[in-house]
């Protein structure tokens, strides 16, 4: 079996009394983008720095391509320069006293490559990130997007085993961010890169990743492909962190005929049976759903899995409307396209797709 490019086994790291990384274990496979997603201060950057060797773990084991690079119990620690990883810093960390060419050539000069090799590899790498022609530019004369490309080229030029990206897009403006996201994905496919990506931006994580780990307080809440993490959040934190969530409370009702949740005021919603094995009949549960998966229908339209509601407030957001809907004892905020329009006080019906409802014990 091919070993994972990067593997964490029960890694611990604490600063003073806080466990920044609290017994984390995961593996990154070759050619995948693995994303650590979480709020600031959750330990995702520390995890990345542990992989890079910029922090020493307090416990556990870190392996790169099956070789242990950190194991504090055995007194083993390989410093960053011996790990052959590439890293793009949030600040890009472009050395201001060197030109673009010398910035990118630095890792090769460290390795005492010949000048011919350096010239060839640097120009090849600069071309692949779209910076050809800027080689002699001073590093400080570049725009944010160009600096980012230099940082990327610098971390790719020596063909690292793993590319570490620490919030690489967060200092770019919205439009450029979108473009770089696209290019980054294309580059990763083209060069077959293995990437550990850290971000707090949900959209970035969703569009770039093969797998996402949602990090909270130094622990992994859920690891899985973007769609799974978003549609089937394993914990309340995950569903809350990944975009907006609406929550309804009720009790579970399991019969032979089907499974549904009884809400207040007699309303009920059928749910997928797959996720209910651990919950008993009559258990108090919390139903969560993404607002975009809930359809707003006129009161007259009758269909399956619907509950009644009343519009309390309407906000005009330019490209869409936002409705504050009172239903089943809760106040939900839902978006709807402009073609349907309901006034304040209108009676409506909300339609739920059973597979889009997650059930968690209360």
Partner 1 sequence: MSTRSTPVEVSGFRFRLRPHRAAELSMLLFFAVAMGLPLLFLVAGSFNLSPPGKAAVYGMGNWLRAFSDNATIEALWMSFLLSAVRLVPAMAIAVLFAWLIARTDMPGGNAIEFFCWLAFFIPDFPLTLAWILLLDPNYGFLNMLARHLPFVDGPLFNPYSFWGIVWVHTSAGGIWFKVILLTPVFRRLGASLEEAARVAGADTLAMLRRVTLPLLAPMILAVAVLSFIRGLQSFNTELLLGTPAGIYVYSTRIYDYIRREPASYGEATALGSIFIVILALMLFFYWRFLSGKRKFTVVTGQGYSIARVKLGKWRSLAFAGCVFYMAVMTVLPLVFLIIGSFMRRYGFFDISSPFTLAHWQNLLSDPIFLVALKNSLIIATITTAGGILLYSAVAYLLVSRRSIAGPALEGLCWLPHVLPGILLGLGILWLFLATPLRFFFYGTVWGIAFALMLSDSPVTTQAFRAGFLQLGSDLEEAARVTGASWWYTYRRILLPLLAPIAGAVGLMNFGGALTSISTPVLLYSHQSRPLAILLLEYSVTGELERGAALGLLITAIICLMMLAGRKLGLRLSGLQ
Q: Which residues of this chain interact with partner 1, rule CB under 8 A?
A: 2, 5, 30-31, 52-54, 56, 64-65, 67, 69, 72, 75-87, 89-91, 93, 95-97, 106-107, 110-111, 124-125, 128, 151, 154-156, 158-164, 191-194
User: In the complex with partner 1, which residue's Cβ is closer, 84 or 254?
Assistant: 84
Q: φ, ψ for residue 20 (rounded to 5)?
A: -70, -40
User: In the complex with partner 1, which residue's Cβ is closer, 125 or 199?
Assistant: 125
User: In the complex with partner 1, which residue's Cβ is closer, 83 or 177?
Assistant: 83
Q: φ, ψ for residue 303 (rounded to 5)?
A: -160, -170
Minimum CB separation from partner 1 for residue 42, in Å? 20
Minimum CB separation from partner 1 for residue 179, in Å? 22
Nearest-CA neighbor of 245 among 229, 259, 268, 256?
229
Residue pair 276/305 in contact (Cβ under 8 Å)? The answer is no
b/e map of 205-236 (b: 16 or more CB within 10 Å)?
Answer: bbebbbbbbbbbbbbbbbbbebeebbbbbbee
User: In the complex with partner 1, which residue's Cβ is closer, 191 or 356?
Assistant: 191
Q: Residue 8's beta-bridge partner residues?
A: 26, 62
Residue pair 190/158 in contact (Cβ under 8 Å)? The answer is no
Minimum CB separation from partner 1 for residue 2, in Å? 7
Q: Residue 359's beta-bridge partner residues?
A: 287
User: In the complex with partner 1, which residue's Cβ is closer, 154 or 200?
Assistant: 154
By CB atoms closer than 10 A (0-12, 13-18, 19+), residue 190 is exposed
User: In the complex with partner 1, which residue's Cβ is closer, 155 or 253?
Assistant: 155
Quote the tokens at residue 253.
């009702």
DSSP class per residue in 289-323: E-GGGEEEEETT---SSEEEEEEEEEEE-SSSEEE
Minimum CB separation from partner 1 for residue 52, in Å? 5
Minimum CB separation from partner 1 for residue 40, in Å? 17
Minimum CB separation from partner 1 for residue 49, in Å? 8
């Amino acid at each position: 079996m091919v070993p994972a490019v990067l593997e964490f086994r029960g890694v611990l790291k604490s600063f003073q009394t806080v466990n920044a990384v609290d017994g984390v274990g995961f593996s990154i496979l070759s050619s995948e983008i693995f994303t650590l997603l979480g709020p600031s201060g959750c330990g995702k950057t520390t995890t990345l720095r542990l992989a890079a060797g910029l922090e020493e773990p307090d416990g556990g084991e870190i392996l790169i391509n099956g070789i242990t690079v950190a194991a504090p119990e055995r007194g083993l620690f390989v410093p960053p320069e011996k790990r052959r990883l590439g890293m793009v810093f949030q600040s890009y960390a472009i050395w201001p006293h060197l030109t673009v060419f010398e910035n990118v050539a630095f890792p090769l000069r460290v390795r005492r490559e010949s000048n011919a090799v350096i010239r060839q590899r640097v120009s090849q790498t600069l071309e692949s990130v779209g910076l050809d022609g800027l080689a002699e530019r001073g590093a400080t004369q570049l725009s944010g997007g160009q600096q980012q490309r230099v940082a990327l080229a610098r971390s790719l030029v020596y063909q690292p085993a793993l590319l570490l990206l620490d919030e690489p897009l967060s200092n770019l403006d919205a439009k450029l961010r979108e473009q770089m996201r696209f290019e980054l994905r294309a580059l990763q496919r083209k060069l077959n890169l293995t990437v550990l990506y850290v971000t707090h931006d949900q959209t970035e994580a969703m569009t770039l990743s093969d797998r996402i780990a949602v990090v909270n307080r130094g622990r992994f809440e859920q690891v899985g492909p973007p769609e799974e993490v978003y549609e089937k959040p394993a914990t309340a934190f995950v569903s809350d962190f990944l975009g907006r969530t609406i929550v309804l409370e009720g009790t579970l009702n399991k019969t032979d005929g089907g499974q549904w949740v009884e809400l207040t005021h007699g309303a009920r919603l059928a749910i997928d049976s797959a996720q209910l094995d651990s919950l008993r009949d009559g258990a108090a549960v919390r139903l969560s759903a993404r607002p975009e998966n809930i359809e707003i229908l006129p009161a007259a339209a009758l269909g399956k899995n619907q509950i009644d509601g009343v519009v309390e407030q309407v906000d005009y957001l330019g490209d869409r409307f936002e409705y504050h809907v009172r239903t089943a004892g809760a106040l939900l905020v839902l978006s709807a396209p402009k073609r349907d329009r309901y006034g304040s006080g209108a009676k409506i019906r909300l339609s739920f797709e059973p597979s889009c409802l997650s059930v968690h014990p209360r």
